[in-house]
Structure 1
Amino acid sequence: MSDDMHEDMEMADSDELDDEEELDDEEDDMNDDDDDANAAQAPPPPAAEEDAAVARRRAIQEIMRDTTLSEEEKRHRIQSLMSGGRTAVAPPPAPVIPAPEGNAACVHYERNCNIVAPCCNRVVGCRICHDELSPAGHPPMNRFLVREVVCKLCNTRQAAGNTCMNCNAQFGEYHCGMCNLWMSLSKKPFHCNRCGFCRVGGVEAFRHCNECCMCISVTVFDTHQCLRDKYKNNCPVCREDMFSSRQSPQDLPCGHAIHAHCFRKLAGFDYRCPICKKTVVSQQSMAAAWEARARDIAEHPMPPDLQRVVDIMCNDCETKSHSQNWHFLGIQCPRCNSFNTVVEQVLSTGAGDAENQQGNTASGSA
């Protein structure tokens, strides 16, 4: 920069300060007039204060004329002079989220931090809160991509970890850096490397089955029916993915899996597997119910016009039976005595329909 330009800038800066000085002098003159009018009530300020104000203005002028200083350094020095030499408070090490956003409520986990969703940058209590509060069509949150958390105690946003970098609070009694999970130890969480994420219930209570690709309770591990990747399917009732579900699955005698709570609801009105339609209750338990239904059918025979002869297929023993008498209460399998059967073909209908068919045949022949 040329000396002329420096001089022009210096002059411009000096002119601005001189104008300020003139304004200050005019204000002082006005204040002096007011002080003269109220001399008895407001004594003149001490000479030391006036000297300090003049010295401060001169120091500011010198700072503005100093071409070796940057604009930022000039502002810092002038601010220091105006504040009496006090130093500014250092900024926090991380940005602070407002309290309403930082303290998002979560009813799923006990933790002292919220997470920043990697997909939409929202501060949420957990991945489940994110999915429940997201609008329709928004994808579920990927827990493995979480990189930032917000402390609930001091609202400091920071890199994911288990200790707050600002207030040193512990976020969770249990922390898994792979799954980005913080929770209490009451549910006995543990990380299964072969499943790929954390589960609850205690590592000592489960064994991983490589065929089913799932952690199985040790109480049923030796007797459970293996079916490859059977847990990597949706629950046939609620359609939720059972492999990553927080609800415990239950094996059915047929080998299919279902949520335990969904099975309890299903058992209230159906006794069959929703996938293969096999009876999910043991034959011994259903024997009394089958006998009671057989008695009802024997006591209430079908009227002649509703009688039918059909072929059936048993869902339980997978046996086909031919020429069985149909009844609206069900058709019993002659092999396993189950009433879990379906009609495959109607062979003949009631007597009235048979007579009509014969009459139509006779008239047609004539």
Structure 2
Amino acid sequence: MDAPNDDARLGFGKMGYGCKHYKRRCKIRAPCCNEIFCCRHCHNESTKDRHEICRFDVQTVICVICDTEQPVAQVCSNCGVNMGDYFCVVCRFYDDDVDKGHYHCEDCGICRVGGRENFFHCQKCGSCYSFGLLNKHSCVENSMRHHCSICYEYLFDSLEETTVLKCGHTMHSDCLSEMLNHDKYCCPICSKSVIDMSKIWRKMDEEIEETAMPEDYRTRKVWILCNDCNDTTEVLYHIIGQKCSHCQSYNTRMISPPTVPQ
């Protein structure tokens, strides 16, 4: 039988090994606890004290084909297999599923997925965004370098899909869907509306028109702050809600008690 050629040796076992996070032909030795895991996410999910591994500190990996432990490299020094068809020496990252479109962003300092040609790095927000958001999103300083306001997972290197809200703040897409399913339409961070609320505002207009206030309250006014446009104005008080006279939003809050005009 002929010996396997170099290409066959490099590709041996591709997509046949790994964990729920990545398909790869190696495991890592965690520098923090000296234990072996399929990947850093497996380590972070399994440690009882919830300490997390720093990807850049990984120094040795174990080839799952021949069980050889060795310094970080793409090709196994013993059996010659590719331990990951995508390999980043900076992130100590391996993945056989190259269809994800991996690329290393120098500005982010980590590997991303989705294809470099499809993303740009926003310097102010501090992360890579889809080109569909280029010049079409509100920039917030380091908006991705914080925790999701719903599940509190750190967003910058999260495996879950994230969404940029109209206000520029970010959260997991699934968390946003769950929030909307519970009829919560304001950003948990800045309280601005996260979707087009014009239909709901028109419905509130109709409800207010059909709901007369008691005579003692019909002329009472209140100062409001609009969460959507940040305008402050004095309007007639109504139990259903107070409408911003500037942007027509009902996403407002009273900043004074209802009073009778002098």
Give the TM-score normalised by structure 1.
Answer: 0.61
Number of the residue aligned with 2:37: 124
Number of the residue aligned with 1:219: 132
Number of the residue aligned with 2:247: 336
Indicate the SS of the match to 1:129: helix
1:304 shift after superposition: 5.7
1:324 shift after superposition: 2.0
Whichever residue aligns with residue 226 of structure 1, its letter is C
> What is the CA–CA distance in structure 2 between the aligned matches of 1:306 and 1:134, rounded to whole Å?
60
> What is the CA–CA distance in structure 2 between the aligned matches of 1:210 and 1:216, rounded to whole Å?
10
> What is the CA–CA distance in structure 2 between the aligned matches of 1:241 and 1:173, rounded to whole Å?
27
> What is the CA–CA distance in structure 2 between the aligned matches of 1:118 and 1:143, rounded to whole Å?
9
Alignment of 1:198-237 (within 5 A): 198-237=111-150
Report if the CA contact (8 A) 1:290-1:339 is conserved. yes
> What is the CA–CA distance in structure 1 between the aligned matches of 2:225 and 2:83, rounded to whole Å?
58
1:346 shift after superposition: 1.2
Distance 1:312 1:211, change over 3 A: closer
Number of the residue aligned with 2:237: 325
Whichever residue aligns with residue 225 of structure 1, its letter is S
Distance 1:304 1:135, change over 3 A: farther
1:105 shift after superposition: 6.3
| Structure 2 residue 165 is the aligned partner of structure 1 residue 252 | yes
Number of the residue aligned with 2:5: none
> What is the CA–CA distance in structure 2 between the aligned matches of 1:274 and 1:333, rounded to whole Å?
20
Report if the CA contact (8 A) 1:234-1:241 is conserved. yes
Identity %: 37
Distance 1:187 1:105, change over 3 A: closer
Cα displacement string for residues 219-266 of structure 1 (whole angstroms, at most 9, x for unaligned residues): 221323333322222222222222222234322222222222322222
Report if the CA contact (8 A) 1:148-1:157 is conserved. yes
Number of the residue aligned with 2:153: 240
Number of the residue aligned with 2:52: 140
Number of the residue aligned with 2:82: 170
Cα displacement string for residues 249-304 of structure 1 (whole angstroms, at most 9, x for unaligned residues): 3222222222223222222221211111111223xxx2222111121122233446
Whichever residue aligns with residue 126 of structure 1, its letter is C
Number of the residue aligned with 2:11: none
**Residue among 175, 186, 197 paired with 1:262:** 175
Which structure ranks higher in relative contact order (CA pairs < 8 Å, sequence separation ≥ 6)? 2
> What is the CA–CA distance in structure 2 between the aligned matches of 1:279 and 1:106, rounded to whole Å?
39
Report if the CA contact (8 A) 1:313-1:341 is conserved. yes
> What is the CA–CA distance in structure 1 between the aligned matches of 2:235 and 2:116, rounded to whole Å?
55
Cα displacement string for residues 108-149 of structure 1 (whole angstroms, at most 9, x for unaligned residues): 00001111100001111100000000003x420011111111
**Residue among 67, 70, 74 paired with 1:158:** 70
| Structure 2 residue 195 is the aligned partner of structure 1 residue 281 | yes
Number of the residue aligned with 2:201: 290
Indicate the SS of the match to 1:131: helix
Structure showing greater Rg: 1
Report if the CA contact (8 A) 2:150-2:175 is conserved. yes
| Structure 2 residue 104 is the aligned partner of structure 1 residue 191 | yes
**Residue among 24, 45, 59 paired with 1:111:** 24
Report if the CA contact (8 A) 1:310-1:326 is conserved. no
> What is the CA–CA distance in structure 2 between the aligned matches of 1:200 and 1:105, rounded to whole Å?
18
Aligned Cα root-mean-square deviation (Å)? 2.3
1:202 shift after superposition: 0.6
Whichever residue aligns with residue 199 of structure 2, its letter is A
Whichever residue aligns with residue 75 of structure 2, its letter is T
Distance 1:310 1:258, change over 3 A: same
Give the TM-score normalised by structure 2.
Answer: 0.83
1:323 shift after superposition: 5.1
Bigger share in strand: 2
> What is the CA–CA distance in structure 1 between the aligned matches of 2:223 and 2:140, rounded to whole Å?
32
> What is the CA–CA distance in structure 1 between the aligned matches of 2:232 and 2:135, rounded to whole Å?
33
Number of the residue aligned with 1:35: none
Bigger share in helix: 1
